[in-house]
Structure 1
Amino acid sequence: MRTTINKSRALPAVAALGVALAGCSAVQGSESDVVDYWLWDANQLPAYQECAEAFQAESGTEVRISQYGWDDYWNKLTAALVAGAGPDVFTDHVARYPEYVTRGALLDLETQPATRDIDASEFHEGLADMWVGPDGGTYGVPKDFDTIALFYDKNLVEEAGLTEEDMQNLTWNPEDGGTYEDVIAHLTVDENGVRGDEEGFDPDNVATYGLGSNGSGSYQGQTEWSHYAYSTGWHHTDEELWATEYQFDEPEIQDTLGWYFGLVDKGYMPPYEMVGEAPDTAQQLGTGQAAIIPNGSWMIRTFASLEGIDLGIATLPAGPVGHPVSMYNGLGDSINAQTDNSAAAAQWVAFLGSDACQTIVGEHAIVFPARPAGTDAAIEAFAEQGIDVTPFTDLVDKGWTSLYPLASHGSRVESIMGPVMDGIYLGQRDVSTLTEVNERVNALFEND
């Protein structure tokens, strides 16, 4: 695949891989006509079960699928890899795979006939690039992509005297928040019914926050603040792929975070103490605690299923660069380096990345598959349910995206940045702290 592919959380479990991988035996219990496959999203299980049945009908190889929740998934996967008993194939994340590569846990797909000639140009631009490792090997085939948009309750918007048109074409800047902050303020209502932009508003006793919270965002800020920072022209790192320098010392990000977390003091966004480390954004919107929730396309089905609200989806606000910018991320399917069933595993991975499987996935209207045919199927399936998903897909069509920060040392960056970002959210640290913290993060790369 090298000739055709040209170069969403805490990550602590990955580091344990180095302890035992070198001496591990092959994956336990593999059979040439059976492939074990793991994924974490229960909503996607039916679609991939359908893909597995189609693959078995075509190849004669059975795929046994195991599904675990997000946290359990990574803990079980790491433990299994250390024990030499992991799945043949598993759903992978770009935040995780760099350290798996470092630990020798992933099979280079270019070593397998079924996967070496997959054409990167058949996927949405940039998705395949993220799975080319620093050594030039390829460690995943794109399965889907995600972008960010604004989920909101049309009922609350109407009660505020705003229209759906008012929710589109919003503008933002880190100085005064633009028309975006105007809308957030107006949608905020205190316990006495006073709005955030009205005299007498009480920021300490809020009934409905204009903007919901998904936490501090750690170093990625995927659904929290990355879209604001990106729309200033900033990016996490000096290079989008395999960078060695983070840029949290730049004024654009510090000004952005100062504005973002400043919404708490204004009473427009819930304080950290209210939402905790793992906020339930669907509950915030569903109970009327928040009017707007920026979140990822993987949450469409969750928000659409909420009772008691009339769901709207709006495009992110345009920033100083003149348009919105969303983080652009994509999952992939990887092969366990310890599998003794590599040929069948590679055939399954190739099928997962094909139009046949990705169209099936798209028809289930859960995520946007990585291939255009699958994305088109998803758009049509969502439309049949009355859901307009163009605020997510237009970002990709127009190139208004920035890749998820891809670099080594993800778990260590997380361990440094996570508590600091929580502290800023809590009001215990100033954003200027990030200048010194950025030096600590970049020091991780000095001996690479």
Structure 2
Amino acid sequence: MNHARRTTATLTAALTAGTLVLAGCASPAEPGAAEGSVTLDYWLWDANQLPAYQRCADAFEEENPDLQVRISQYGYDDYWRKLTAAFVAGAGPDVFTDHLTQYPGFAQKGLLRDLNTLDATADVDYGEFQEGLPDLWVGQDGGQYGMPKDFDTVALFYDTNVIEEAGLGPEDLEGLDWDPQDGGSFEKLLAHLTVDENGVRGDEEGFDPDNVAVYGLASNGAGGTAGQTTWSWLAGATGWKFTDKDVWGTEYHFDDPRVQDSLEWLFGLVEKGYMAPFEEVGTEPNPQQALGSGRAAISANGSWMLGTYANLEGVDLGIASLPSGPVGHPVSMYNGLADSISAQSEDPEEAARWVEFLGSDDCQRIVGEAGVVFPARPAGTEAAVEAFAERGLDVSVFTDLVEDGNTLYFPVTDSFGSIEAIVQPIMDEIYIGDRDVSTLTEVNDRINGLLR
């Protein structure tokens, strides 16, 4: 649900450069479909969710014999490239999984249908979704450009075997506190879990930070504009917010000392030896592999990665809450995907029937029962919690954040792709150590200039 960094800028450029054809993108009926039926093309990128959505399509077709759903799944990077090309050619899908970094540009270019204007989706009660998710998909014109499908938050993954080797237990990972000045009990934990090549721990005399065998914290890279799993949960715990408004902010806050201090603390872990340097992880970090290989003791990551971490061979998985920050509690980014209808669809009303079903309790329960993500409706969320519990995973640390309101919204603004193109390389330089965090003040003026 993240992965926005590398594709956003190129997608924006392609859509700006290309001629946007609003010709229809209807597809011929599927072989064996009822005569006169309409086939709707639906695109998604997560292979792990494909089986569940196929079951949703089967249930939908049973209730709607005049409609067929053809699902196409592409890898994340290919997904956005193909979608861009399809939009330019006027041959995109009727319905597709959308991301908060992408939809503002799509909507402004007239590529999305306002769900409020279509019969099947006009009367949806958005109050029945998890609080706040529908608001993220309301455009500046008041149109609803996405039907919420799921949500995610962030927590700490760890291997209980590694924790026990350090003389600790799961209880030692609960109730942690953090602040950007000295790192609190969270930094003390990371120090103890870090081990150099000679077996000396990071909180012991003689520790060598230049030759580390096990890092206390797995690196998620520099994080870019959103820092979803990297640094947003740290900065958010200080009371900082990305922009002046939760949705459609007009002013970023990278000049705030709270975010700058949070970044300085995080990337300062490299010099202390508690987190891998940029040179080791590069622009494509793999924190789950670091945990699975024993290269790192703790990995902060999103709930959509639950299945990946649970399947790590030889890992006895544990999940802990993020540390509480200066605000007195943990804070996680709250992100959510949605299903959008292309303005190029020749069958928008039929597409709206499919989207309405995608956002229904029936489909969201099916998705929840697959135990991959947390669907956007409470019924689907509960089904997912039960599915994870059957696999021995207590996922309450993810859902408690939402129930308690301890969340930070993903930044929804104009020009996100252009802003990311500016911020990402600068964050990389800060991680490397070639740039001081204070230069973000100047960068903040530059990116805010794009919003004026």
TM range (shorter): over 0.9
Shift of residue 341, structure 1, vs aligned partner: 1.0
How far, CA to CA, are the matches of 1:339 and 1:244 in structure 2?
Answer: 32
Q: How does 1:81-100 map to 2 (within 5 A)?
A: 81-100=87-106
How far, CA to CA, are the matches of 2:370 and 2:106 in structure 1?
Answer: 30
Shift of residue 22, structure 1, vs aligned partner: 4.7
Aligned-residue Cα RMSD (Å) equals 1.0
> Number of aligned pairs?
439
How far, CA to CA, are the matches of 2:238 and 2:436 in structure 1?
Answer: 20
- Equivalent of 2:50, from 45, 49, 66? 45
How far, CA to CA, are the matches of 1:36 and 1:23 in structure 2?
Answer: 18
Instruction: Report the equivalent of 1:297.
Output: 303
Letter of the 2:267 counterpart: F
Q: Is structure 2 residue 193 aligned with structure 1 residue 187?
A: yes
How far, CA to CA, are the matches of 2:226 and 2:135 in structure 1?
Answer: 19
- Equivalent of 1:64, from 66, 70, 91? 70
**SS of 1:114's equivalent?**
helix
Contact 1:91 1:331 in 2 (8 A): yes
Letter of the 1:15 counterpart: A
How far, CA to CA, are the matches of 2:224 and 2:16 in structure 1?
Answer: 25
How far, CA to CA, are the matches of 2:247 and 2:402 in structure 1?
Answer: 18
Contact 2:27 2:39 in 1 (8 A): no
Letter of the 1:165 counterpart: E
How far, CA to CA, are the matches of 2:28 and 2:346 in structure 1?
Answer: 7
Q: Is structure 2 residue 27 aligned with structure 1 residue 29?
A: yes
**SS of 1:327's equivalent?**
strand
Q: How does 1:138-153 map to 2 (within 5 A)?
A: 138-153=144-159
Shift of residue 33, structure 1, vs aligned partner: 1.8
Instruction: Report the equivalent of 1:360.
Output: 366
Instruction: Report the equivalent of 1:162.
Output: 168
Instruction: Report the equivalent of 1:133.
Output: 139
How far, CA to CA, are the matches of 2:20 and 2:295 in structure 1?
Answer: 50
Shift of residue 28, structure 1, vs aligned partner: 4.9
Instruction: Report the equivalent of 2:221.
Output: 215
Q: How does 1:103-114 map to 2 (within 5 A)?
A: 103-114=109-120
Letter of the 1:53 counterpart: D
Instruction: Report the equivalent of 1:423.
Output: 429
How far, CA to CA, are the matches of 2:428 and 2:18 in structure 1?
Answer: 33
Shift of residue 242, structure 1, vs aligned partner: 0.3
How far, CA to CA, are the matches of 2:190 and 2:203 in structure 1?
Answer: 9
Instruction: Report the equivalent of 1:206.
Output: 212
Q: Is structure 2 residue 384 aligned with structure 1 residue 378?
A: yes
Contact 1:30 1:341 in 2 (8 A): no
Shift of residue 18, structure 1, vs aligned partner: 3.4
Shift of residue 23, structure 1, vs aligned partner: 4.2
Contact 1:21 1:103 in 2 (8 A): no
Contact 2:196 2:209 in 1 (8 A): yes
**SS of 1:259's equivalent?**
helix
How far, CA to CA, are the matches of 2:296 and 2:18 in structure 1?
Answer: 46
Letter of the 1:287 counterpart: S
Identity percentage of aligned residues = 62
More displaced 10-residue stretch of structure 1: 274-283 or 169-178: 274-283
Contact 1:21 1:104 in 2 (8 A): no
How far, CA to CA, are the matches of 1:392 and 1:23 in structure 2?
Answer: 41
**SS of 2:127's equivalent?**
helix
Extract unaligned runs of 5+ from structure 1: 1-7
**SS of 2:213's equivalent?**
strand
Contact 1:231 1:324 in 2 (8 A): yes
Letter of the 2:230 counterpart: E
Contact 2:93 2:342 in 1 (8 A): yes
Q: Is structure 2 residue 123 aligned with structure 1 residue 117?
A: yes
**SS of 2:298's equivalent?**
strand
Shift of residue 16, structure 1, vs aligned partner: 2.0
Contact 1:98 1:407 in 2 (8 A): yes
Q: Deviations over 1:14-34 (max 9, x none)?
A: 332234455442115355521
Contact 2:232 2:333 in 1 (8 A): yes
Contact 2:27 2:40 in 1 (8 A): no
Q: Is structure 2 residue 230 aligned with structure 1 residue 251?
A: no
Instruction: Report the equivalent of 1:5.
Output: none
Letter of the 1:329 counterpart: N
Instruction: Report the equivalent of 1:389.
Output: 395
Shift of residue 192, structure 1, vs aligned partner: 0.2
How far, CA to CA, are the matches of 2:324 and 2:220 in structure 1?
Answer: 21
Contact 1:80 1:86 in 2 (8 A): yes
Instruction: Report the equivalent of 2:15.
Output: 17
Shift of residue 344, structure 1, vs aligned partner: 1.1
Q: Deviations over 1:115-154 (max 9, x none)?
A: 1111111000000000100111110000000000000111
Contact 1:188 1:209 in 2 (8 A): yes
Letter of the 1:39 counterpart: L
Instruction: Report the equivalent of 1:4.
Output: none
How far, CA to CA, are the matches of 2:24 and 2:315 in structure 1?
Answer: 51
Contact 2:26 2:39 in 1 (8 A): no
Letter of the 2:62 counterpart: A
Q: Deviations over 1:376-417 (max 9, x none)?
A: 000001001100000101101111111111101010000000
How far, CA to CA, are the matches of 2:252 and 2:167 in structure 1?
Answer: 43
Instruction: Report the equivalent of 2:289.
Output: 283
How far, CA to CA, are the matches of 2:14 and 2:316 in structure 1?
Answer: 45
Contact 1:211 1:293 in 2 (8 A): yes
Contact 1:28 1:84 in 2 (8 A): no
Contact 1:244 1:407 in 2 (8 A): yes
How far, CA to CA, are the matches of 2:194 and 2:226 in structure 1?
Answer: 27
How far, CA to CA, are the matches of 1:26 and 1:14 in structure 2?
Answer: 22
- Equivalent of 2:408, from 371, 377, 402? 402
How far, CA to CA, are the matches of 2:60 and 2:133 in structure 1?
Answer: 23
How far, CA to CA, are the matches of 1:218 and 1:22 in structure 2?
Answer: 29
Which TM-score applies when normalising by structure 2?
0.96
Extract unaligned runs of 5+ from structure 2: 30-36
Letter of the 2:24 counterpart: A
Which TM-score applies when normalising by structure 1?
0.97
Judged with a 3 Å threshold, the aligned counterparts in structure 2 of structure 1 residues 62 and 314 are, in CA distance, closer, same or farther, namely same
